[in-house]
Amino acid sequence: MNMAQRRTTIKDVAEAAGVGVATVSRVLSGGSASAETRERVLATAARLDYRPSALGRNLRQQRSGGIGLLVPDITDSFYARLTDGVLSCARSYGEPVTIGVTGDDPEQEAELIGTLIEQSMDRVIAVPSGDGETWAPALRAGLNVVFADRQVRDDVPGVVADDRAGVRTAVEYLVGLGHKKIAFLARHGQSQRVAAFTDTLTSMGVPVDPELVVHARASRDSAYAAAAGLLQHRADLTAVLTGGNMLGEATVLAARELHVRIPRDVSLVMFDDVPWAELCSPPLTVIAQPAQDVGYRAAELVLRQGRRPRTVTLPTELIVRASCGPRR
Amino acid sequence: MNMAQRRTTIKDVAEAAGVGVATVSRVLSGGSASAETRERVLATAARLDYRPSALGRNLRQQRSGGIGLLVPDITDSFYARLTDGVLSCARSYGEPVTIGVTGDDPEQEAELIGTLIEQSMDRVIAVPSGDGETWAPALRAGLNVVFADRQVRDDVPGVVADDRAGVRTAVEYLVGLGHKKIAFLARHGQSQRVAAFTDTLTSMGVPVDPELVVHARASRDSAYAAAAGLLQHRADLTAVLTGGNMLGEATVLAARELHVRIPRDVSLVMFDDVPWAELCSPPLTVIAQPAQDVGYRAAELVLRQGRRPRTVTLPTELIVRASCGPRR
DNA sequence: AAGCATGATGGAATCGTTTCCATGAACATG
DNA sequence: CATGTTCATGGAAACGATTCCATCATGCTT
């Protein structure tokens, strides 16, 4: 027995149905045809279990269907949920999704963009890494890009969570609790959130201490180092706001290591709600982001050609648990 | 200005270099050519920034490069890490990865397999959902499949963690602590682990109570329901072993909800180590699995054609933290 | 009835690559 | 010098779909 026999092609169907290949193609893609022919072709195609080869179609139309997705780190719960949203939307359109992780590194990102272009993928959703410069060639090549979670160029539509409002709410909450020495532990590139942080402080009459804004790279180690450094060098701080769940995780870990009690010694608010925030000790007060929706909406945007809004902003929500207390 | 100008093709390069397209193709794919020609072609290709279109190549070779990856749930940390491993290996081969989530549902899985075949993807890594029956047509079609995390047919190579040893170690640990009424909270399809569980109990002379083996579906809700049901109806149990991190999460949550104290009232061992296990209160004793390695090795297997071993089994490790105590 | 519009249909071109095969040159061997 | 061998090379076929265009039949209008 010879396994892997040749697959059924449109030619086979045409022959079996006694029509031309053009007719089969038309029938299958909803073009005009007489009722009788249509029925015969459909029946034959079903009988032969014919599935059009994406290869042939793609070459002819000069573009592969499907959408490319570039995220910094699939291991991070936030991007995993975002990815889930993209997949969920893509599935309903029957579009395959090709994924790549950039490690938040513009160089790797550029390489992955190259791969996508090689595949003639013309629809891409990305969480961009550096400034938007990496994307200039891709855009020139006619790529249909939608940014998710971060907005780094204004000639590309994007879907983001409402950073500013989220940070503002959190800071207001903390200040309301009496805190003045509030640190912001950010990932590089979260300039939006940092700006919102300082803006809110000044608008509330709290002096901002630039040394209390600390940046980390997008790895667990870097996050831990930053958190531990902050907690060690600034014994005077009473509250920490982290720019992402990995930073929050690192802060809890570092605090435990250094015998800093949460919320007794310092209060903690984490950007991004994750399942374990509730299991943590103490349960973490967070700014929840609709990660899955961000992905879903981005996919809708990239799939529905046509009109493209500037930027879609999705609301965030402060969820109060038990990691914040009054200023000690 | 007209954006999106036609992309450079092999024909352009051939013309510019004054050679035939066949020669260009040969040079670029390492075939034989005179040193002089080779150099000229290479230079021209670089000058024109030529990148071969994957579309043309794929059609010609009757297969799209790249690998397909099917996981039950990208939101689950374990599968996210597995995916990360696959991506990491695939990247070093320059192969794109197309991902799909099955929701652990054979029907959705079958649909996704259909999509992959449509794309002429002939290399697939999958965490299979039901029994392996879904895969029969794909295998007949000549698909190159590698299973990850679960082994459901023996005509397909696979990479799995050492379930049996992991469960055995955990049960031995628990029994050593004096526990006799130990529950196993499993996901459907984890028959390997369940078998190892009962085997170990009997081999240690502990009577097995079939009602203490509880199954849940692969969703958060189902996991929670199962955990809560178990904790409520079986007040006599003193230890729980969960078959995955989602079930562990659900158990911690349900225990807290029902005022069951861990480890004072019941001890808990969770299959799969996740970053938050350490942040949990109490920190969870777990059976760590090399999720990333599973993915990486699976990718190696599917990319390196050639010799294909039966099954690769990777070791697990019991990490003792603070969620287990002596029998109360 | 002639002319015209409409609609169904199939042949052939096309997309960009790889690969088969023929050609011709260069070289070695007798 | 004749013949055989090796090698570089380019033309052309092939992959499987879509789509342009020409053809032909039908039905309607005048």
Q: Which residues are B160's β-sheet partners?
A: B313
B60 inside domain: no
Average pLDDT, stretch A273-297? Answer: 95
Residues A182 and A205 in one domain: yes
Residue B33 (CA) to nucleotide D6 (C1'), in angstroms, measures 13
Could you tell me the residue range of the domain that residue A129 belongs to? 67-159+292-312
B24 and B99 co-located in one domain: no
**Chain C nucleotides near the protein (CB, 7 A):** 7-12, 14-20
Please check whether residues A268 and A193 belong to one and the same domain.
Answer: yes
pLDDT-derived band of residue B144, with 50, 70 and 90 as boundaries? very high
Nucleotide nearest to B18 (CA to C1'): D10
Q: What is the model's pLDDT at position B142?
A: 86
* Domain contains A250: yes
Asked if residue B298 lies in contact with residue B146, where contact means CB atoms within 8 angstroms, the answer is yes
Predicted pLDDT of residue B3: 45
In a domain, A277, yes or no: yes
What local confidence, expressed as pLDDT, does residue B306 receive? 64
Q: How many domains does chain A have?
A: 3
Cβ atoms of B160 and B149 closer than 8 Å: yes
Confirm whether B57 is domain-assigned: no
Element (H, E) at A114: helix A106-118
Span B24-53, average pLDDT: 93
Residues from chain B that touch A101, judged by Cβ atoms under 8 A, are 84, 87
- What Å value separates CA A54 and C1' D22? 29
Find out whether A297 and A321 touch, Cβ atoms under 8 Å: no
Query: B189 and B174 in one domain?
Result: yes
A167 and A238 inside one domain: yes
Say how far apart CA A60 and CA B305 lie, in whole Å: 30
A25 strand D contact, CB < 7 Å = yes
pLDDT tens per residue, range B149-196: 999 998 999 999 999 999 999 999 999 999 999 999 999 989 889 999
Confidence band for A62, pLDDT divided at 50, 70 and 90: very high
Instruction: Say if A88 falls within a structural domain.
Output: yes
Q: What's the Å distance between residue A21 CA and nucleotide D17 C1'?
A: 9
B117, B183: one domain: no
pLDDT confidence tier of residue B218, bands split at 50, 70 and 90 = confident
Give yes or no for a contact between B283 and B304, defined as CB atoms under 8 angstroms apart. no
Comparing B305 with A63, the larger pLDDT belongs to A63
Can you give the distance from the CA of residue B24 to the C1' of nucleotide C29 in angstroms? 34
Task: For residue A282, count other CB atoms closer than 10 A to its CB.
Answer: 17
Closest CA to A151 of A166, A162, A140: A162
Q: For strand D, give the nucleotides within 7 A of a protein CB.
A: 7-12, 14-20
- Cβ–Cβ gap B101/A87 under 8 Å: yes
Cβ of residue B258 lies below 7 Å from strand D:
no
| Domain co-membership, A284 together with A301 | no
Q: Average of pLDDT values for B210-232?
A: 94
Which of these ranges, A224-233, A290-299, B135-144, has the smallest mean pLDDT?
A: B135-144
Mean pLDDT, residues A319-325? 96
Indicate whether A212 belongs to any domain: yes
The partner residue sitting opposite B115, judged by closest CB among A64, A75, A94, is A94
CATH number of the domain enclosing B285 = 3.40.50.2300
Q: What is the pLDDT of residue A150?
A: 93
Give the CATH number of the domain where residue B22 resides.
1.10.260.40
Same domain for A14 and A88:
no
Within a domain: B2: no
pLDDT at B1: 37
Q: Give chain B positions within 8 Å (CB) of A84.
A: 73-75, 101
Average pLDDT over residues B93-105: 95
Domain assignment present for residue B33? The answer is: yes
pLDDT at B103: 94
Residue A191 and residue A210 in one domain: yes
- The pLDDT value recorded for residue B60 is 96
Do B178 and B190 belong to one domain?
A: yes
A256 touches strand D (CB under 7 A): no
H/E stretch holding A125: strand A123-126
* Residue B178 and residue B80 in one domain: no
- State the smallest CA–CA distance between residue A39 and chain B in angstroms: 23
Contact list in A for residue B275 (CB cut-off 8 A) is 220, 249
| Residue B99 shares a structural domain with residue B141 | yes
